[in-house]
Chains A and B, each alone.
Chain A
Amino acid sequence: MRYQIVVAGFGGQGVVFLVKVLSICAGKKGYKFLGTENHGMSQRGGSVSSHIKIGDFYNPLIDSAQADLLIGLDRDEAILNLPYLKRCGSVIVNADEFPDIEADVFAVDANKLAEDRVFDAKGLNVFMLGMTLARVKNFPFSIDEVKAAIKEINPKFAPQNFEILSKAFEYEKN
């Protein structure tokens, strides 16, 4: 099994939380896992991207044209990170529109949904993970595995996060 994910966003959007969730999912399934995080200067609202490599890998960085999936918490950040995506890879992006490329792109205007109070803006990261689970067929983890990981990180906030995940599934159906 080899699956590579780039999560693109900017400081403060909770990219690191997603890395933690997926690392726990991988651990429970017995997959190897390597993920990168950004701390320090880049955290202050600057472009932040995390690379996640699940399976037999030895270094945490993803090279150009290698990622199976790009999760964009922001439209511009997703575009900035497009070089990492492989041909016919998947893109789940928070945007009202996205360039037409040779990939499986799913754009959702999550900012608008947060403004309309469909979910709390702080849960954007979890919402986009929910969209990924609902939409990406070869994603290596199930919703239950993700829920278990979220609960392990913070049992107190888990119910709110589960709610956001189900909002994402509802949205995808409609």
Chain B
Amino acid sequence: MKITLMGNEAIAYGLLHSNTKMVSGYPGTPSSEILTTVQKLKNNLPVYAQWATNEKVGFEVAYAGAIAGVNSAATMKQVGLNVASDALMSASFIGNKGAFVLIVADDPGFNSSQTEQDSREFARFARIPVVDPATPQEAYDFTKLASEISKNFEIPVMLRTVMRVSHSREIVEIEDNFEFQDKEGDFERNIPRWAAVPRAGRLKQAYAQFDRLDKIREYNYNELIKPKIDHLKDTENLIISSGTAHGYVKEVLEELNLDIDLLKIDMPYPLPVKELKDLIKRYKKVLIVEETYPVIEEEIRSENVYGRMSGHMHKIDEMNKERVLESLSKIGLYEGENIYKPVFIPENPKMRKPNLCPGCPHRDIYFAIKKVFRPKKSIYPSDIGCYTLGINLDAIDTVLCMGASVSMAHGFAVADKNKTVIATIGDSTFFHSGTAPLINAVYQKAKFILVVLDNSTTAMTGRQSTPERVAQGIVDIKKVAEGCGAEVMEYFYKSDINETVNFFKEVKKRFEDAQGPLVVVSRQYCVLDKERVNQFLPGVFATVDEEKCVACDVCTTQYVCPPMFYNERGKIEIDPLLCIGCGVCISGICPTDAFIPRKEEK
């Protein structure tokens, strides 16, 4: 059956079509739609598909399933694997009975991520096999392949996808009339294996790991690589590629009319190094094209091998065809013109920055924080989520990684006692990794303010459910923070900036006498959250009294709401198509009260 699928949807089909019974993970662009699609597709199938509080938790829940013999998978983005890596490094020694597919989505080009790390490198570090799909079709096929290899060799297998696979759409051929075969888990006690301890137990597993890798290397050669080598035409030169990079190379070779052999590697680790080095000897020059780290290149480096390490390929950022062409030119395999040079080059093009949505309560909180805790006397650590866009309001000083706002607030409070530290974190991030540093701060009596921006959803990645949304009243941020021993103040957000500012004045007063961290739980909503938003938005649309506007920039630099812009008369105007009617600007953002309610329909 042929259907149009986004790469992440194709992976979800691949999971179900390999009888995967347990899927867990944590949302993160570009991986999020994998688990949500499994949730949509599973219908009445006995499949567990649930978001975990963080990637490590999700990995471990799913991995236990694989130990108990059911096919399982964990999904995350590349930086999520950093969080889950502790579990991975040991799971690689221990292995699994049911399949365990670790799905990691990389983000070459830093589109939505803090790093550009190549998870294939992580697979090599952990000594587990990794498959690297190039298209949504391969994402489907390789998910099934990964599941099969994992089950056969009893080892976790990584499916490494990238943004251009996960978020590409293609017509994909999937299995017709698939029938899910259910299998109950049956944990078999095997203490030396599942609970191997240092030194003897683990050493034994380490030797077994090498044997297993050798077998998979052989499999990689016989099943995946050799059939392709047999089809090579023995031209003078060779390109070896993997994943998305392959598509770029294939198009470049066609478009430049170059007669160069092209070998695609489906499983970049473990590689049959000896066989590949023999192959390399048959060619004059060999170029390695892969994204983003030189993983294959490091494994098979030889005198006639060119790529990143030899300085013939761009070092960082996403691949494109022009970069492949440039590499070919550098090593003398192409001498023609650059056909990928733009014809039209705009002068000073305006790039639109991402911004908090019109009507987003985060904006008000940041505005109020800056008003009450002046920038010169404050430090504003923040975290990972939509609210990171508070950077547009200059209301964020540091962004490191999930949960770091809390521990860094602690560190700043110790290091710089002359400033007030006021940190911001979202509800999902707080559950992900905010509690451990909060307990740390409470017991050490670190004095700072932590504002939990609770919009009851994981907004940035597409509004996945959070623990307190699903278990309303049972899992509650206020109770959790109190349970950690912190002092807590609660704010029920109102679409009136004076209310929000006055609340933070109260926070400031209370903080003067605080003995440790003061946690503020701000109960808000996400304007994209259709289930909840309408009960909160007042529907007061704004316009501008141009006679009152003195072009002072307060709204455009301190509040920064997308509908606001300067018109040709040098006055602020509100784009009526963007304004969603929160009415906050009318309530007191403008020093000269230029924002006024718009009259009903013209």
Q: Does B248 contact A (CB under 8 A)?
A: yes
Q: Which residues of B sit under 8 angstroms from A44, Cβ to Cβ? A: 354-357, 386, 389, 460
Q: Does B432 contact A (CB under 8 A)?
A: no
Closest chain-B Cβ to A69's Cβ sits at a distance in Å of 14
Additional A-B contact list (5), CB under 8 Å, known A44-B460, A82-B349: A59-B248, A60-B164, A60-B168, A65-B342, A79-B346
Interface size class of A (residues with CB under 8 A): 35 or more
A45 in contact with B322 (CB, 8 Å): no
Contact flag A76-B4 (CB < 8 Å), given A39-B167, A59-B244: no
Q: Which residues of A sit under 8 angstroms from B460, Cβ to Cβ? A: 40-41, 44
Q: Does B120 contact A (CB under 8 A)?
A: no
Closest chain-A Cβ to B538's Cβ sits at a distance in Å of 21
Q: Which residues of A sit under 8 angstroms from B296, Cβ to Cβ? A: none
Q: Does B224 contact A (CB under 8 A)?
A: no
In the A-B complex, the 10 residue pairs with the smallest Cβ-Cβ separation, listed nearest first, are A59-B247, A40-B29, A46-B354, A83-B342, A58-B247, A40-B112, A64-B342, A82-B344, A60-B168, A41-B112
Query: What are 19 pairs between A and B in contact, CB < 8 Å?
Result: A10-B352, A20-B169, A26-B171, A32-B170, A32-B171, A34-B135, A34-B170, A41-B29, A57-B251, A58-B134, A59-B250, A60-B135, A60-B247, A61-B320, A63-B321, A65-B340, A65-B341, A80-B351, A115-B576
Partner of B134, one of A26, A38, A59, A85: A59
Q: Which residues of A sit under 8 angstroms from B322, Cβ to Cβ? A: 63-64
Assembly CA distance A87 to B344 (angstroms): 8
User: Which B331-365 residues have C-beta < 8 A from chain A?
Assistant: 339-346, 349-357
Assembly CA distance A83 to B346 (angstroms): 7
Binary flags per residue of A59-88, CB closer than 8 Å to B gives 1, else 0? 111011110000000001101101111110
Binary flags per residue of B564-602, CB closer than 8 Å to A gives 1, else 0? 000000000000110000000000000000000000000
B352 in contact with A47 (CB, 8 Å): yes
Q: Which residues of A sit under 8 angstroms from B353, Cβ to Cβ? A: 46
B171 in contact with A63 (CB, 8 Å): no
Q: Which residues of B sit under 8 angstroms from A87, Cβ to Cβ? A: 343
Q: Which residues of A sit under 8 angstroms from B154, Cβ to Cβ? A: none
Q: Which residues of B sit under 8 angstroms from A61, Cβ to Cβ? A: 164, 248, 318, 320-321
Assembly CA distance A83 to B345 (angstroms): 6
Q: Interface residues of A: mostly helix, strand, loop or mixed?
A: mixed
Q: Which residues of A sit under 8 angstroms from B341, Cβ to Cβ? A: 64-65
B352 in contact with A46 (CB, 8 Å): yes
Assembly CA distance A27 to B321 (angstroms): 26
Q: Which residues of B sit under 8 angstroms from A39, Cβ to Cβ? A: 29-30, 32-33, 112, 167, 461-462
A27 in contact with B164 (CB, 8 Å): no
A111 in contact with B349 (CB, 8 Å): no
Contact flag A121-B346 (CB < 8 Å), given A33-B171, A38-B167, A40-B461: no
Q: Which residues of B sit under 8 angstroms from A111, Cβ to Cβ? A: 577
Closest chain-A Cβ to B340's Cβ sits at a distance in Å of 4
Closest chain-A Cβ to B563's Cβ sits at a distance in Å of 10
Q: Which residues of B sit under 8 angstroms from A40, Cβ to Cβ? A: 29-30, 32, 111-112, 460-462
Q: Does B467 contact A (CB under 8 A)?
A: no
A58 in contact with B135 (CB, 8 Å): yes
Q: Does A36 contact B (CB under 8 A)?
A: yes
Contact flag A27-B350 (CB < 8 Å), given A34-B168, A37-B168: no
Q: Which residues of A sit under 8 angstroms from B576, Cβ to Cβ? A: 115
Q: Does A42 contact B (CB under 8 A)?
A: yes
Assembly CA distance A32 to B247 (angstroms): 14
Q: Which residues of B sit under 8 angstroms from A84, Cβ to Cβ? A: 342
A77 in contact with B6 (CB, 8 Å): no
Q: Which residues of A sit under 8 angstroms from B349, Cβ to Cβ? A: 76, 79-80, 82
A24 in contact with B352 (CB, 8 Å): no
Q: Which residues of A sit under 8 angstroms from B437, Cβ to Cβ? A: none
Q: Interface residues of B: mostly helix, strand, loop or mixed?
A: loop
B354 in contact with A33 (CB, 8 Å): no
Q: Which residues of A sit under 8 angstroms from B168, Cβ to Cβ? A: 34-37, 60
Assembly CA distance A64 to B345 (angstroms): 10
Q: Does A11 contact B (CB under 8 A)?
A: yes
A102 in contact with B355 (CB, 8 Å): no
Closest chain-B Cβ to A99's Cβ sits at a distance in Å of 8
User: Which A1-50 residues have C-beta < 8 A from chain B?
Assistant: 10-12, 19-20, 23-24, 26-27, 32-47
Q: Does A103 contact B (CB under 8 A)?
A: yes
Q: Which B residue's beta carbon lies closest to that of A27?
A: B171
Q: Which residues of A sit under 8 angstroms from B485, Cβ to Cβ? A: none
Closest chain-A Cβ to B400's Cβ sits at a distance in Å of 16
Q: Which residues of B sit under 8 angstroms from A76, Cβ to Cβ? A: 349-350, 352
Q: Does A107 contact B (CB under 8 A)?
A: no
Closest chain-B Cβ to A149's Cβ sits at a distance in Å of 10
Assembly CA distance A80 to B3 (angstroms): 33
Closest chain-A Cβ to B528's Cβ sits at a distance in Å of 9
Q: Does B2 contact A (CB under 8 A)?
A: yes
Assembly CA distance A24 to B6 (angstroms): 12
Closest chain-B Cβ to A161's Cβ sits at a distance in Å of 18
Q: Which residues of A sit under 8 angstroms from B321, Cβ to Cβ? A: 59, 61, 63
Q: Does B562 contact A (CB under 8 A)?
A: yes
Q: Which A residue's beta carbon lies closest to that of B246?
A: A58
Closest chain-A Cβ to B527's Cβ sits at a distance in Å of 11
Contact flag A37-B6 (CB < 8 Å), given A42-B112, A58-B247: yes
Assembly CA distance A77 to B169 (angstroms): 22
Q: Does A158 contact B (CB under 8 A)?
A: no
B562 in contact with A45 (CB, 8 Å): yes
Closest chain-A Cβ to B164's Cβ sits at a distance in Å of 6
Q: Which residues of A sit under 8 angstroms from B346, Cβ to Cβ? A: 79-80, 82-83, 99
Q: Does A148 contact B (CB under 8 A)?
A: no
Partner of B167, one of A27, A37, A79: A37
Q: Which residues of B sit under 8 angstroms from A36, Cβ to Cβ? A: 164, 167-169
Assembly CA distance A53 to B350 (angstroms): 25
Q: Which residues of B sit under 8 angstroms from A95, Cβ to Cβ? A: none
Q: Which A residue's beta carbon lies closest to that of B170?
A: A34
Assembly CA distance A22 to B118 (angstroms): 32
Q: Does A114 contact B (CB under 8 A)?
A: yes
Closest chain-A Cβ to B2's Cβ sits at a distance in Å of 7
Closest chain-B Cβ to A6's Cβ sits at a distance in Å of 12
Partner of B169, one of A19, A45, A46, A102: A19
Binary flags per residue of B396-417, CB closer than 8 Å to A gives 1, else 0? 0000000000000000000000
B112 in contact with A121 (CB, 8 Å): no
Q: Which A residue's beta carbon lies closest to that of B388?
A: A41
Closest chain-A Cβ to B110's Cβ sits at a distance in Å of 10
